[in-house]
Structure 1
Amino acid sequence: MRTIHRLDQLRNEIASLRAEGESVALVPTMGALHEGHLTLVRAALKQANRVVVSIFVNPTQFGPNEDLDAYPRTLEADSALLEQEGVDLLWAPSADEMYPDGFATSIGVDGVSADFCGASRPGHFAGVATVVCKLFNQVRPDVALFGEKDWQQLAVIRRMGRDLDLTLPHVDAIIGVPTVREEDGLALSSRNRYLDAEHRTKAAALPAAMREAIAKIEGGEPVAQALAKLEQALLSGGFSKVDYAALADAQTLKRIDALGDRPARLLVAAHIQNTRLIDNMAVRSG
């Protein structure tokens, strides 16, 4: 595996792969890798001859009071994991390399970014869309893989890919990979390592409450009532705040108050021990 820190070197490496007729998959990450990331890598290895993983803690998607400085940076350990998995290129640019002096462009994706994390983290999805667009243009992959744990992020990236006619050959080349979970159901996240043992145990209340709410909604209980019970279960179970708990159309991300014929998604963001956790699960349509 080759680790690259400069854009000109990355472009030379990608050009060499293309000259050899190789297909390329991209897995964008912010590092602090866990089994969820490695699942993306393994899926990528089935999609293309060569796999590029990016590790970049993107400052533009963090708000002024968020955890940019505290976000775990474990490049050496991450590199070892990726090499074991058979990754070909690790793209690990600095912030100055990604955003050179005078950088002045931001991409906004309306609609799917407006609610949920877009409302509670202003500017977050503009930062995500901008950096992912740059990664697509830098690597020019045939496919790119993202975890479904951040369902709204995946929707934003797919919408951007459609709207900007990016270089991926078709929209299906932006692939969502199902969420990887711990034995107690908690979705894997780099931020889970912020939690001490007590709060890590309590965090399992999140997927448990979500599964219970889904069972109630699919069983015919009014959505608002089921969501209110979900929020109360989280607050009673050790969470300090619920940013949102909502049922939404799985594609448009518009809130819905009843199941219909279209796929739906339950989306939740909640805080525990000063850590914000997000999750989502599919809900069977009516």
Structure 2
Amino acid sequence: MTAVATPAPVTARPRPVADVTTMVRRNLLRAVRYPGLTMFLVAGPLVMLVLFVYVFGGAFGAGVAPGVTPGAEGRAAYLAYIAPTMLVLTIVGAGQSIAISAAMDAAGGIMARFKTMAISPGSVLSGQVIGYVLQGLAAVVLVTGAALLMGYRPDAGPLDWLGLLALLVGLGVALNWLCVAMGLHAKSAETASNTPMILLLLPFLGSGFVPVETMPSGVRWFAEHQPFTPIIETARGLLAGGVGLETSEVVLAFAWIAVIGVAGYAWARTLYRRERRL
């Protein structure tokens, strides 16, 4: 009797583009299921924008724009100064949310389950990064709309807006990779929510809220050499139509973004490949 050969089992091959798209869709659906994380992206920058403009802006405006009279004129000047900072902080806030999301997936064993499936290994983390970049950009649109309603009038042209979009997308991708790594490294979602707080504090220690020239020498040195100062100044210059924007500052901003992104990506991939130890 002739033996009948048993066909070898067909192993599904991962499809990187389709797998990343699926993971992005999963991330966006999670935004609906966990509205608290989603609201944080918009509510945080909006509250700060209103607080700093309407409470502190009248006095701070005279400091950021010499010759401006404290009061309504000062608030308008400070709104123009702080609006770019709020857009950058909105992108940073998305990083805190993705850290929590990554920690929840790791602690719940979901990422370990994904490793056993025939999907592209890079799609699990890439889907989260892209998903939160999209959420961050949507939040940026809402914050920009709120600033416009408050009287903000940027002088940016089409190329300036494209440059700002490239800056925010690059910053979002870089910070999200770094925050994914922070989330995977954390032992719990609670820890993951606290670790990225340093990223939210850095704009306060830079030119985000006051000019660095007003700071003491030691603080000023740190403010001038930390990543968020050139990033915020580039965003501020682009929204001002390129007025006062230096090429060296733009190059430095994108260089910092590249360094953060590469370091975050390498750290996140290393942690994802390593078996999680409780």
Q: TM-score, normalised on structure 2? A: 0.25
Larger radius of gyration: 2
Greater fraction strand: 1
Work out which structure has the larger RCO, using CA pairs closer than 8 Å and 6 or more positions apart in sequence.
2
Q: TM-score, normalised on structure 1? A: 0.25
